[in-house]
DNA sequence: TTGAAAGCGGTACCAC
DNA sequence: GTGGTACCGCTTTCAA
């Protein structure tokens, strides 16, 4: 059995106008809620539009008013990485929800052969939301800047301070995560950070070390590792950590990676939290269904996405916005942390 | 610190034409690889376009050629459900990859207040890919059909057989999953199916029951439950099953739900696979990092997405396509299944 | 090989 | 209040 496209007739504003014996202008006025039109005329027109399921072509309209009602969401990472990382799901979900509420469509863009700027050149989007760019993405930001399109970043870019962005208090997050463990009596606290190229990693590093120092604990480089924000990475690093360091607690800068960490611990026959306490970061949806449910830092990823859209749309509409918006974080205590217990003795 | 949108000058085809002292027609010809143009003229033009980062406006072009290079991906479910279910991630990933390869942009659409057809009426998309519509979505399909836009479904819709679709051999998948357990000596095999409204559920049900019958095992309705394809649902159902039924194996029609099932089993102090064997369905990315790694049915979700795009694009381009494309499935044996062991005795 | 002009489907200015 | 018309930026037909 084969199938082939069908012919399609499409109604235009001219069809509607002709049908009612009015001008295109009048139809346009009715459709756009203009004031200078007789209410009953408007009614008649709207009725006919509904009857034929007529809606103005977004292409024609966009060309006319130089606006598309579409925003690009650019994730400067490989598509596989993006779609397998729940953190991105979450922020994307927030973005979609908010865009929907504001009547915007989303064009999702990730790193492909250098043509991520095409949507801008081709006028497909009214603005760009750049998700968690890293320190190595400064050139990307510069190129976007050159196009002068409205754009917003969802992370802080040091040294590029005149760029509107929404970020999270990563320093505080790492600080309270570490202090939570310290308050439970832990001293040998491993820290598995995210990739160095993320600006959040630097902030979290400072939060972790400052928390230790503040409590008179020496910072030991051997307890610190850089992970790749995925499950495998957490798993591998933790196996090595447990063997070499025998920590009683670990702070992992990402829930997804923490999942791998927990797998490693449990596979080695150790119990969470009795033997080793684990604290994550992000509070992704999966955190509460892990086994046991993960204690973590909530950074309201959803809200980050929503806020990013809000700000971007404001810029698109010519409003003034504040350059930097910082979201708060908080500790969510679940079942992966408990009083220290020197299991290795 | 505040920020505001910047002024933006945009190059048009007329600018390029004027700069080079040629006509818009000529520029257009160069840009579209037409034959009737002097190679050196083309060169000069292309160079200038590159120099100014000029690319034709997608809006203007789309209006002219009545084509957008955009396809809509419609997921007839709530956005929260979609973004928390790895199955959708996977199929979406396949879709994005293929669309990218073919030069198409994606507009992601989910269920919102009845306006999912707007993108069609507004001419924002050249075609629609409908992800896993359920039996209760027949009205949606009919409305789409009325618009006569090219579209493809990623599931079989019984009684709507003239709709192009790409599906999976769910019957066979359920059959080999069940037979795998039977071959390990299991007789008391629970089956946690997906929602009734999915056409795949009916097929999997048949596969499960036929496998039992074929091996002389009676079908016991008490061993069968309908889950909601999420973690909680799997968790809850399995707790009850274990208490009431004391099965030695369970076949779960979705890896994500199987994750909840495994949590329940382990939380009750039983071991996987020693006490209870578990087989999933889908082979989502997470399956291999579960603890232990999940034995499951691979339904190449990624490929489903890719194939859906391929077919849709063919239809858009006026080609003939086959009405139905069925993808094969296969058993992936990992660590959650083993020989039967009557733990409850 | 190149260019002028019409047309795609809207919006908005300016008359009436 | 309503309508005629120019224009948004591109493609395409038809002439030259």
Q: Which of A2, A11, A124, A321 to mutate to test the interface with B (most CBs of B within 10 A)?
A: A124
Q: What is the pLDDT of residue A113?
A: 55
CB spacing of B79 vs A96 below 8 angstroms: yes
C-alpha B72/C-alpha B126 separation (Å) is 8
- DSSP secondary structure string, A62-102? HHHHT--SEEEEEE-S-HHHHHH-HHHHHHHHHHHHHHHHH
C-alpha B297/C-alpha B191 separation (Å) is 14
How far apart are the CA of A42 and the nearest CA of chain B, in angstroms? 20
Out of B78-82, B98-102, B300-304, pick the least confident.
Answer: B78-82
Residue whose Cα is closest to the C1' of C13: A25
Q: Which of A83, A111, A268, A292 to mutate to test the interface with B (most CBs of B within 10 A)?
A: A83
- Bases on strand D under 7 Å from any protein CB: 1-5, 7-13
Q: Searching chain B, which residue's CA lies closest to the CA of residue A147?
A: B8
Residue B26: other Cβ atoms inside 10 A: 22
User: Crossing angle of helices B170-183/B199-214, nearest 10°?
Assistant: 40
- Rounded to whole angstroms, the distance from the CA of residue A122 to the C1' of nucleotide D11 is 16
Provide the percentage of residues in chain B whose pLDDT is more than 90: 88
Phi, psi of B13 (to 5 degrees): -60, -30
Contact of B84 with B140, CB cutoff 8 Å? no
C-alpha A222/C-alpha A245 separation (Å) is 8
Taking residues B146-169, report their average pLDDT: 90
Q: Which one, of A176, A140, A178, A177, lies nearest residue A160 by Cα?
A: A140
C-alpha B333/C-alpha B221 separation (Å) is 27
How far apart are the CA of B328 and the nearest CA of chain A, in angstroms? 19
Q: What is the pLDDT of residue A114?
A: 63
C-alpha A200/C-alpha A206 separation (Å) is 10
Residue whose Cα is closest to the C1' of D7: A64
| Interacting residues of B65 by C-beta distance below 8 A, sequence separation 6+ | none
Taking residues B280-284, report their average pLDDT: 97
Q: What is the pLDDT of residue B116?
A: 84
Nearest to B150 among A5, A54, A63 (CB): A5
C-alpha B66/C-alpha B311 separation (Å) is 20
Nearest to B83 among A79, A92, A231 (CB): A92
Q: Which one, of A185, A183, A181, lies nearest residue A252 by Cα?
A: A181
Going along chain A from its start, the domains and CATH numbers come out as: 13-56 (1.10.260.40), 70-167+301-326 (3.40.50.2300), 170-300 (3.40.50.2300)
pLDDT tens string A41-55: 999 999 999 999 999
Residue B245: other Cβ atoms inside 10 A: 16
Contact of A140 with A76, CB cutoff 8 Å? yes
Question: Which H/E stretch holds residue B98?
Answer: helix B86-102
C-alpha A250/C-alpha A191 separation (Å) is 6
CB spacing of A93 vs B108 below 8 angstroms: no
SS3 B288: helix
Q: Which of residues 199-228 of A touch B (CB under 8 A)?
A: none
Cβ-count burial A20-54 (b if 16+ within 10 Å, e if not) = bebeeebbbbbbeeeeebeeeebeebeebbeeeeb
Contact of A131 with A287, CB cutoff 8 Å? no
Contact of A93 with A106, CB cutoff 8 Å? no
Give the rounded distance of the alpha carbon of B83 from its chain centre. 12
Q: Is B147 on the interface with A (CB under 8 A)?
A: yes
CB spacing of A2 vs B323 below 8 angstroms: yes
The pairing of beta strand A296-298 with beta strand A330-332:
antiparallel
Contact of B73 with B108, CB cutoff 8 Å? yes
Q: Which of B4, B5, B294 to mutate to test the interface with A (most CBs of A within 10 A)?
A: B5
**Strand residue runs (E) in chain B:** 2-3, 70-75, 105-110, 127-130, 151-153, 165-168, 189-193, 224-226, 249-252, 277-279, 296-298, 321-322, 324-327, 330-332
**Strand residue runs (E) in B28-76:** 70-75
**Residue whose structure tokens are 């995925």:** A230
Q: In chain B, what residues touch A320 (CB-CB under 8 Å)?
A: 2-4
As a residue count, chain B comes to 345
Residue B334 gets which letter from DSSP? -
Contact of A170 with A207, CB cutoff 8 Å? yes
C-alpha A73/C-alpha A8 separation (Å) is 32
Residue B155 has pLDDT above 60, yes or no: yes
Q: Which one, of A224, A341, A334, A223, lies nearest residue A271 by Cα?
A: A341
Residue A157 gets which letter from DSSP? -
Phi, psi of B137 (to 5 degrees): -105, 20
pLDDT tens string B58-89: 999 999 999 999 999 999 988 998 988 899 99
CB spacing of B147 vs A123 below 8 angstroms: no
Task: Name residues of chain A where pLDDT drops below 70.
Answer: 113-114, 160
Q: What angle do CA A264, A169, A86 make, to 5 degrees?
A: 45
Average pLDDT in chain B: 95
The overall longest dimension of chain A from CA atoms, in Å, is: 91
Cβ-count burial B214-244 (b if 16+ within 10 Å, e if not) = eeebeeeeebbbbbebbbebbbbbbbebbee
| Interacting residues of B16 by C-beta distance below 8 A, sequence separation 6+ | B27, B45, B48, B49, B52, B54
Q: Which one, of B273, B189, B200, lies nearest residue B224 by Cα?
A: B189
Q: What is the pLDDT of residue B113?
A: 55
Out of A20-24, A222-226, B34-38, B210-214, pick the least confident.
Answer: B34-38
**Strand residue runs (E) in chain A:** 2-3, 70-75, 105-110, 127-130, 151-153, 165-168, 189-193, 224-226, 249-252, 277-279, 296-298, 321-322, 324-327, 330-332
- Rounded to whole angstroms, the distance from the CA of residue A10 to the C1' of nucleotide D14 is 27
Q: Is A1 on the interface with B (CB under 8 A)?
A: yes
Q: What is the pLDDT of residue B211?
A: 98
Q: Is B121 on the interface with A (CB under 8 A)?
A: yes
B184 backbone φψ class: left, alpha, beta (φ>0; ψ -120 to 50): alpha
Q: Which one, of B255, B257, B260, B277, lies nearest residue B343 by Cα?
A: B277
CB spacing of A263 vs B291 below 8 angstroms: yes
Residue whose Cα is closest to the C1' of D2: A26
Contact of B14 with B24, CB cutoff 8 Å? yes
Q: What is the pLDDT of residue A343?
A: 78
SS3 B235: helix
Out of B114-128, B164-178, B267-281, pick the least confident.
Answer: B114-128
Q: What is the pLDDT of residue A116?
A: 84
How far apart are the CA of B312 and the nearest CA of chain A, in angstroms? 10
Q: Which one, of A223, A224, A283, lies nearest residue A259 by Cα?
A: A283
**Residue whose structure tokens are 């596989």:** A80
C-alpha A232/C-alpha A243 separation (Å) is 17
CB spacing of B3 vs A321 below 8 angstroms: yes
SS3 B101: helix
Q: How far apart are the first and last CA of chain B?
A: 71
């Amino acid at each position: 059995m084969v199938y082939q496209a069908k012919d399609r007739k499409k109604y235009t504003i001219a069809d509607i106008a002709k049908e009612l014996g009015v001008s295109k202008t009048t139809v346009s006025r009715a459709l756009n809620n203009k004031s200078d039109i007789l209410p009953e005329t408007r009614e008649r027109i709207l009725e006919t539009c509904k009857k034929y399921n007529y809606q103005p072509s977004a292409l024609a309209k966009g060309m006319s008013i130089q606006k598309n009602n579409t925003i690009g969401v650019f994730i400067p990472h490989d598509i596989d990485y993006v779609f397998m990382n729940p953190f991105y799901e979450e922020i994307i979900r927030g973005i979609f929800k908010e865009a929907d509420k504001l009547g915007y469509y989303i064009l999702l863009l990730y790193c492909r052969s250098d043509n991520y700027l095409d949507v801008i050149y081709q006028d497909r989007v009214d603005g760009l939301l750049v998700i968690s760019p890293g320190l190595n993405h400064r050139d990307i930001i510069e190129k976007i800047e050159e196009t002068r399109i409205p754009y917003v970043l969802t992370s802080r870019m040091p040294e590029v301070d005149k760029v509107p962005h929404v970020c999270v208090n990563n320093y505080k997050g790492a600080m309270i995560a570490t202090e939570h463990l310290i308050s439970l009596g832990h001293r040998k606290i491993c820290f598995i950070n995210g990739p160095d190229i993320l600006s959040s990693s630097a902030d979290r590093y400072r939060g972790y070390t400052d928390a230790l120092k503040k409590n008179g604990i020496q910072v030991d480089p051997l307890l610190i590792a850089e992970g790749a924000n995925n499950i495998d990475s957490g798993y591998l690093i933790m196996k090595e950590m447990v063997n070499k360091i025998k920590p009683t607690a670990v702070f992992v800068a990402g829930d997804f990676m923490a999942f791998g960490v927990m797998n490693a611990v449990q596979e080695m026959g150790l119990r969470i939290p009795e033997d080793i306490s684990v604290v994550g970061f992000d509070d992704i949806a999966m955190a509460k269904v892990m086994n046991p449910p993960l204690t973590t830092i909530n950074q309201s990823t959803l809200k980050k996405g929503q806020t990013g859209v809000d700000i971007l749309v404001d810029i698109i509409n010519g409003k003034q916005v504040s350059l930097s918006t910082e979201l708060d974080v908080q500790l969510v205590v679940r079942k992966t942390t408990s009083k220290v217990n020197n299991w290795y003795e």
